[in-house]
Structure 1
Amino acid sequence: MSDDRTLAFETLQIHAGTAPDPATGARQVPIYQTTAYVFRDADHAAKLFNLQEVGYIYSRLTNPTVSALANRVCALEGGAGAICCSSGHAAQIMALFPLMGPGRNIIASTRLYGGTMTQFSQTIKRFGWSTKFVDFDDLAAIEAAVDDDTRAIFCESIANPGGYITDLDAVAGVADKVGLPLIVDNTSASPYLCRPIEHGATLVVHSATKYLTGNGTVTGGIVVDSGKFDWSKSGKFPSLSEPEPAYHGLAFHPALGPMAFTFHSIAVGLRDLGMTMNPQGAHYTLMGIETLSLRMDRHVENARKVAEWLEKDPRIDYVTYAGLPSSPYHHRMARICPKGAGALFTFAVKGGYDACVKLIDSVKLFSHVANLGDTRSLIIHSASTTHRQLTEEQQIKAGAAPNVVRVSIGTENADDIIADLDQALAKATA
C-alpha cells in the first residue's frame, strides 16, 4: 500500500494501520483473543521490556487487534502515536495521567459532556487533581486561570450537548503562550469532520463508543498524541522528561522523542491502571471506521434538515446547531469543521421541563438512550439524566438547561425523523 500520508481519508479509514495477516493472509484484521505472547528467547523478552524492540508482551498492554485500531485512528487524526483503552472516560484519565500529580490542576471548558464535568469536578479530586472551568470564548479568562500548578488545557471540538464549535486555533494559541498541552475531545466531530492536531492540539481523545464505531455495540476510548509537544522544556512533566521510577528509571522523552507519551501510556499507564480495550471491541470499531465518512456525510445532511425544520417551528424557542446560519458559532464551521457541524445539538421546547419530559415519552422512531453517534436517531433530556448532578446554573452554562432536549441525528430518512419529532411535539405542547 502507498504511504499513509499520501492517501485520502476515505482510503485511510479502510486500510490505515493494517495489512493482510502475515500468518494466514486474512484480509480483515483477526480478533487476537489471547492474553499472552510467547517470547522467542530470554533476550527477546528483555528487549521488549526495555522498549528496545516493539512487540507483544501481555494483552493488558498491547494486542495486535487493538494496535491495528490505534494505528488507524492515529493515521486519521494525523498523529505520531495512539493508545486504545476501555472507554472515553478512561481515555481522558489516560491523557492526563502522565502529566499530573497531587496538587496539579487543569483548565477546562464549561461546555463539556455532563459525565466529563463530574469526572473533572469531583472524581479526579481523589487523585489530588483539580479543575478550573472557564468559558472558552473568553481567551483572556483561560490565560488568567493558569497558575504554576496547571498542567493541561481541555475542551471538546464540538461540545456535547449543544453542538458548540470551539475555536481550536485561538485556544491553541493560548496553550502555546503559557507552555501547556491542549487536549481536545474529538468524539462529537470524529476525525472526518475535524482534525484538532492541525489546529494546534497536543493530544486528541475519543470515545470510540460513538461515531467511530457508529452502531452502539461496544465501549472504547482512544488517545492520539501529536508528537509535537516538548515535554522536557518546562520541567513540569517529570514522568516524561525525567527518569521514571515506575519504569526502572527510563527517561521517556529523552529516549523516545515524539513517541514518549505513547510508550509511557502503554508501559506505565495501561500496565498500572489497567484500562484495557478488549480485542473484540477493537474489531467492531475497526469495522465501523470503514464507513465513517459515508455515515458522517449522512449524519450531517440529516442534522441540517432537522435543525432547519425545528428552527421554523413555533413550538421551539431556539436550536443550537452550529450548521445553521443563525448560530453564533456558524462562522467557525468552515475553518474548524469544513465538512459539517456534526449531528449533535439541542433545542429548547416551549413549555419547559415538563414539555421536554412529555416529548421524550412521545417519540417512536427516536431511541431514548444515554448515548450519541449511533446510526439510529437518539434523544435525551440532559437536565434530568446526564447533567442532573449539576446545579441549574451549571446546566445552563453546559448547554443543558431544564427546557432543553439533546438529539443525536441518525442516518435514517430525514423526513421520517422530522415526522417523529412533529408528532411528539404535538403531544408535548398540547
Structure 2
Amino acid sequence: MSSSEFDFDTRQIHAGTGVDAEFGSRLTPIYQTAGFVFDSFADGQGRFDGTVPGQAYARTDNPTNAAVARRLADLEGGIGGLLTASGTAAIALTLNALVTAGDHVLATASLYEGTKTLFANSFGRQGVEIELVSADASDDEWRRRVRPTTKALFTETIPNPKNDVVDLERFAGIAHAAGIPLIVDNTVATPYLNRPIEHGADIVIHSTSKWISGHGAVLGGVVIDSGSFDWASQETRYPQLTLPSARGRASFVERFGRFAFLTYLRSVTALDYGPTLPPTSAFMILQGIETLSLRMDRHVANSLALAQWLEHQENVTSVDYPGLVQSPYYARAQKYLPKGAGAVVTFELAGGVEAARAFIDSLQLISKMTHLGDVRTLAIHTGSTIHGHLTEEERLAIGITPGTIRLSVGLESVRDLRHDLERAVAAAAAAASEAEVEASLSDEAVSAA
C-alpha cells in the first residue's frame, strides 16, 4: 500500500499488514516467541548481518512489532521504524545511536520535563551535554551554539505542557545548515495532525502509549526514519555509520544506503540495550492506530470547547491552548496543525496551590492521574508531580505556577466534562477566597502585634 494511493484514514487500517499467509487471519497475529528458526547456515548469517530479510532474535524485532512499525512509518511518511518499550526508550536509543562521550546535542528548552530529566541525568553521566535553548532565540543564536561535536537538534511539535508550537521548518533549516539531523518528538500532535518529515524533520519519535494507542493500556515507543538525511556527507561526525568497522567490514552507509541509521539503530543500539516491546503490547497499539483519525477529531473538538470555556472563567487567569485565537501560537498552529491543535489544555488557577488542591480533589468524572492521550480525560497538578523535583524558581522560569493544571482531554461528552470542571473551578474559587481571608486576618494580627 502506497501513501500516494490511499488516504490517511484508509492507511491507518491497512498499511504495513496483510492477510496472514499461513492461516488467513485478517488481524496481524501476536508472534509470542523469543527467537526464530533459520532455514540454513547462510540464512542465519544473513539475518544477523542484515543482508537477508527476517528476524534474527526477538530482542531487536518481532513480526508483530515490525508490522506496527511499518504502519506508523507509512503514516509519518518515513522509510521504516523501530518499536521500543516506551517513548523515553525511543529517545534514549536514538541519541545513543548518534552520540558518544564528549558530544553535544542542541534542544529546545520547552521540552517535556521527563525528557529534560533524561538528558540531564543519564546522558549527563555519560558525558554527553544536551544544551537547552529557547525556541524563541534568534537563528544567529542557534547557529552560534553549534559545535564540531554537535550531533543533533531535538524538539517537540507541541511541547507538553505549555503547548508552545514549534516552527519545524525553521529548525530543519538550522539543523541542516549545521550538518546535523532534526529529531522531532511528535507524540502530542500524532501523524494525523502533523507529519514533521513533510516540514524537514529527519527522525520522528512517538510515545505510542499516548494517542496512537489511545486506550491507556500499554507502554510503547517508536523511532521513524525519514531516510532523507545525508549521513555520507558527514563522515567525521558519524563514523559509526560512515566508516568501515574495526574488523574491516563495509560501513553501514555503504551496505544499507538510506536505511543506514535505521539498520544501525536496530542491529547495534537496540541489540545492545534491549528495550524490547512485547508483541502483545504491539498488537494492542495496532488496534488503537486503526481509529486514530476518528479519535483525534473528537479529542481536538473537546479540547477547543473546554479551552474556550476555561478562558471565560473568572478564577482561571490563563489558558495555554494554541487553538485559541488569542494564543501567541495560534498563527503557527494554523500552519502546522490545520486539523487541530492537539488535546492538551493547560491553565492557571488563581489562588495557587490551595486552589489547585481543591480543584483536583473536587473532580469526579475526570481522572486524577499522570498520562496523556487516553480516551478518558485526565487532570494533574504539574507543580507537585511532574515538576515536583524542581525548585519554585525553576518552575516559574518555565511557566509552571502554583496554580497550573494540565488536562489531557478525552472523548467523553463535552457537556459532562464541563459540568465536572464547573464544580472543580467553583471549589478552587472558594479555596482561594478562604486563603485570601486567612492571609488578611494574619496580616491584621501581625500589624496589631
Shift of 1:180: 1.2
Shift of 1:143: 2.0
The residue number in structure 1 matching 2:133 is 134
- CA 222–125 in structure 1, closer or farther in 2 if over 3 Å, else same: same
Range 131-140 or range 266-275, more displaced: 131-140
**In structure 1, what is the Cα distance between the partners aligned to 2:178 and 2:167?**
17
Shift of 1:415: 1.0
**In structure 1, what is the Cα distance between the partners aligned to 2:295 and 2:228?**
31
Say whether the 8 Å CA contact 2:352–2:401 is kept in structure 1: no
The residue number in structure 1 matching 2:296 is 296
Partner deviation per Cα, 1:262-320 (whole Å, 9 max, x = no partner): 11111101110001111000000000000000000000000000000000111100101
Partner deviation per Cα, 1:77-119 (whole Å, 9 max, x = no partner): 0001110100000000111122100011111111111111111
Structure 1 residues 205-354: aligned runs within 5 Å? 205-234=205-234, 235-245=236-246, 249-354=249-354
Shift of 1:248: 7.3
The residue number in structure 2 matching 1:52 is 51
Q: After TM superposition, what 4+ stretches of structure 1 lie above 4 angstroms from structure 2?
A: none
Larger radius of gyration: 2
Say whether the 8 Å CA contact 1:216–1:374 is kept in structure 2: yes
**In structure 2, what is the Cα distance between the partners aligned to 1:393 and 1:232?**
44
The residue number in structure 1 matching 2:74 is 75
**In structure 2, what is the Cα distance between the partners aligned to 1:396 and 1:373?**
26
Say whether the 8 Å CA contact 2:3–2:77 is kept in structure 1: no
Shift of 1:183: 0.6
Range 296-305 or range 107-116, more displaced: 107-116
The residue number in structure 2 matching 1:184 is 184
Shift of 1:352: 1.2
Identify unmatched segments of 5+ residues in structure 2.
431-449
State the identity %: 43
RMSD value, Cα: 1.3
**In structure 1, what is the Cα distance between the partners aligned to 2:94 and 2:49?**
23
Partner deviation per Cα, 1:156-183 (whole Å, 9 max, x = no partner): 1011011221111111111111111111
The residue number in structure 2 matching 1:124 is 123
Q: Work out whether 1:18 is the aligned partner of 2:17.
A: yes
**In structure 2, what is the Cα distance between the partners aligned to 1:211 and 1:32?**
24
Residue 405 of structure 2: SS of its match in structure 1?
Answer: strand
Identify unmatched segments of 5+ residues in structure 1.
none
Say whether the 8 Å CA contact 1:110–1:397 is kept in structure 2: no
Residue 152 of structure 2: SS of its match in structure 1?
Answer: strand
The residue number in structure 1 matching 2:99 is 100
Say whether the 8 Å CA contact 2:376–2:412 is kept in structure 1: yes
**TM-score (structure 2 length as normaliser):** 0.93
The amino acid of 2:333's aligned partner reads M
Say whether the 8 Å CA contact 2:204–2:223 is kept in structure 1: yes
The residue number in structure 1 matching 2:440 is none
Shift of 1:243: 2.2
Say whether the 8 Å CA contact 2:322–2:328 is kept in structure 1: yes
Larger relative contact order (CA 8 Å, sep ≥ 6): 1
The residue number in structure 2 matching 1:146 is 146
Shift of 1:51: 1.2
Say whether the 8 Å CA contact 1:299–1:343 is kept in structure 2: yes
The amino acid of 1:389's aligned partner reads H
- CA 396–181 in structure 1, closer or farther in 2 if over 3 Å, else same: farther
Say whether the 8 Å CA contact 1:111–1:399 is kept in structure 2: no
**In structure 1, what is the Cα distance between the partners aligned to 2:115 and 2:42?**
44
- CA 250–276 in structure 1, closer or farther in 2 if over 3 Å, else same: farther
Residue 232 of structure 1: SS of its match in structure 2?
Answer: helix
Q: Work out whether 1:374 is the aligned partner of 2:374.
A: yes
**In structure 2, what is the Cα distance between the partners aligned to 1:206 and 1:399?**
24
Shift of 1:3: 2.8
Shift of 1:399: 3.7
Say whether the 8 Å CA contact 2:210–2:374 is kept in structure 1: yes
Partner deviation per Cα, 1:96-149 (whole Å, 9 max, x = no partner): 122100011111111111111111122211222111111112233322222121
Say whether the 8 Å CA contact 2:87–2:222 is kept in structure 1: yes
**In structure 2, what is the Cα distance between the partners aligned to 1:361 and 1:142?**
43
Partner deviation per Cα, 1:357-400 (whole Å, 9 max, x = no partner): 22111111111111000000001111111111223343234443
The residue number in structure 1 matching 2:423 is 423
**TM-score (structure 1 length as normaliser):** 0.97
Shift of 1:330: 0.3
The amino acid of 1:291's aligned partner reads T
**In structure 2, what is the Cα distance between the partners aligned to 1:410 and 1:399?**
24
- CA 109–257 in structure 1, closer or farther in 2 if over 3 Å, else same: same
